[in-house]
Amino acid sequence: MDWELDETQRMVQEAARDFATRAILPRARDIDRDAAIPREILKGLADLGLFGVNVPESLGGAGAGTIAYSLAMTEIGRACASTAVTMAVSNMVAEVLAAFGTERVRQEFVPRLCDGSLVAGSFALSEPEAGSDPGAMRATARRDGDGWVLDGSKQWITSGDFAGVFVVWARTGGPGTRGISAFAVDANTPGLSVGHHEDKMGLRGSSTTALHFEGCRVPSDALLGQENGGFKIAMMALDGGRIGIASQALGIGEAALEKAVAYAQQRSAFGGPLADKQAIQFMIADSRTELDVARLLTLRAAWLKQEGKPFSQQAAMAKLWSSENAWKVCDRALQVHGGYGYVREYDVERHLRDVRVSRIYEGTSEIQRIVIARGALS
Ligand code: CAA
């Protein structure tokens, strides 16, 4: 067993940390307040190879592997969770297109997604009445001449209003999970429009919108993988995506713990620093331990994926643990700060708002438990 990072992984981690500290962190509070990520930040990520960390170099990616991707996500998540989720979904879309796209789709979208020309990628699976249960989706795609025509609506779509390319799931067969296909859709396709923008509690810099498809026509080679084989593509993509969200939650937790430690050392009460009080020390000890477990579980899942071994359950465990415990870490960090934790100036309230959704998106904690239990009971 080798616990050391290799040179590529170290380089990606350092590049992400440097960019996050220099270019993102100083603007994180403004990104939250203005509910928008400056485009130059997204372009900067792409220029560093962070929009296709695990995408082959032949398609414009960094080809650096899943461990490097996880490390980079943690660094970006530590600075700004909104930026991190935009990056996570773009990486997930780039990987899906690279793995399942026809040659035309791979060449047309993946290099431009990786180099930032498409601004971001977007993953259009969920619907107003199909979130945890995507097998119940209602959007349809029907064959028409030499193409497909998409109709229906999607909801909770990250970067829905500015992504240049979408992976869209729609029903092409009978009911249930075996009648769903996946398509690559250019954002400028007629019949695709952006709907309601969600006004969220956290991750305010990341845009979340509805999408509407009305007679939206795509070429026949926009189909990803097999007809009616789209559900499995979604599941495989989400297995990898959950490593990204586990890494992001870890980064948010690290940011909150750093602030709690610094505040506890600097603030005095009852004649000495807060850090001398055992009640505070225990909070810091629990947080440190929980984040280290999150890191180990997340890197294990990343390693398994990178090695081509089964990793669904391990990714679910990493996401469950990391999101649930990063939430606790952020809550404790706020408690350490007392009243100051409850105001915007100290940023811990932002971390708490941002981390909350990691227990919901890319599969709720309850869905992760289903995946883990099915594996354990099989
Ligand atoms: N990899 C490959 N195939 C898989 C798979 C996996 N991880 N999991 C299931 N499958 C296959 C099954 O083998 C089965 O195949 P067959 O048809 O050949 O039998 C098929 O998929 C159906 O599987 P299930 O019967 O297990 O499906 P289910 O309806 O019971 O659902 C579930 C399983 C795990 C609960 C799944 O519905 C799920 O993950 N739900 C959560 C959805 C989710 O995470 N949504 C997130 C939205 S995207 C997002 O949040 C992105 C963002 O913008 C931030």
Residue 24: closest CA among 94, 111, 85: 85
What is the band of 93 on the pLDDT scale with cuts at 50, 70, 90? very high
| Contact assessment for residue 46 and residue 16, using Cβ atoms and an 8 Å cutoff | no
Gap from CA of 157 to ligand 1 centroid (Å): 18
What element of type H or E holds 157? strand 147-158
Residue 376: closest CA among 320, 327, 326: 320
Q: Which tokens go with 246?
A: 């586990």
What is the band of 216 on the pLDDT scale with cuts at 50, 70, 90? very high
7 flagged as catalytic: no
Q: Which tokens go with 204?
A: 């305010």
Please identify, by atom number, the ligand 1 atom nearest to the C-alpha of residue 92: 51
Q: Between 348-356 and 312-337, two packed helices, what is the crossing angle to 10 degrees?
A: 150
Average pLDDT score over the chain? 98
Residue of the nearest CA to atom 6 in ligand 1?
Answer: 235
| Contact assessment for residue 205 and residue 120, using Cβ atoms and an 8 Å cutoff | no
> Domain 122-229: which topology?
Butyryl-CoA Dehydrogenase, subunit A; domain 2 (2.40.110)
Residue of the nearest CA to atom 49 in ligand 1?
Answer: 362
Q: Which tokens go with 178?
A: 């075996």
> How many degrees, rounded to 5, is the angle at CA 311 between CA 83 and CA 102?
70
pLDDT at position 281, please? 98
Q: Which tokens go with 205?
A: 């810099």
pLDDT at position 263, please? 98
Q: Which residue out of 177, 208, 309 has the highest number of ligand 1 atoms within 8 Å of its CB and is therefore the one to mutate?
A: 177
pLDDT tens-digit profile of 297-306? Answer: 999 999 999 9
Instruction: Give domain limits for the chain.
Output: 7-120, 122-229, 231-377
| Contact assessment for residue 86 and residue 361, using Cβ atoms and an 8 Å cutoff | no
Distance, CA of 141 to CA of 156 (rounded, Å): 20
Average pLDDT, integer, range 274-302? 98
- Residues near 373 by beta carbon (within 8 Å), at least 6 away in sequence: none
Does 1 score more than 90 pLDDT? no
pLDDT tens-digit profile of 9-36? Answer: 999 999 999 999 999 999 999 999 999 9
What element of type H or E holds 46? helix 39-47
- Domain 231-377: state its class: mainly alpha
Where does 154-277 have alpha helices with state H?
230-266
Burial class (CB in 10 A: 0-12, 13-18, 19+), 185: buried
| Contact assessment for residue 89 and residue 121, using Cβ atoms and an 8 Å cutoff | yes
Burial class (CB in 10 A: 0-12, 13-18, 19+), 335: middle
Question: Which of 75, 95, 290, 362 does the annotation list as catalytic?
Answer: 362
Q: Which tokens go with 202?
A: 């956290």
Average pLDDT, integer, range 55-80? 98
Average pLDDT, integer, range 70-98? 98
Burial class (CB in 10 A: 0-12, 13-18, 19+), 363: buried
- Domain 7-120: state its class: mainly alpha
What is the band of 311 on the pLDDT scale with cuts at 50, 70, 90? very high
pLDDT tens-digit profile of 97-118? Answer: 999 999 999 999 999 999 999 9
Q: Who lines ligand 1 at CB under 6 A?
A: 85, 89, 123, 125-126, 132-135, 158, 177-178, 231-232, 235-236, 238-239, 312, 361-363, 367, 370-371
pLDDT at position 227, please? 98
Gap from CA of 17 to ligand 1 centroid (Å): 33
pLDDT at position 73, please? 98
Distance, CA of 95 to CA of 7 (rounded, Å): 23
Average pLDDT, integer, range 287-312? 98
pLDDT at position 2, please? 86
pLDDT at position 129, please? 96
Please identify, by atom number, the ligand 1 atom nearest to the C-alpha of residue 158: 53
Gap from CA of 242 to ligand 1 centroid (Å): 12
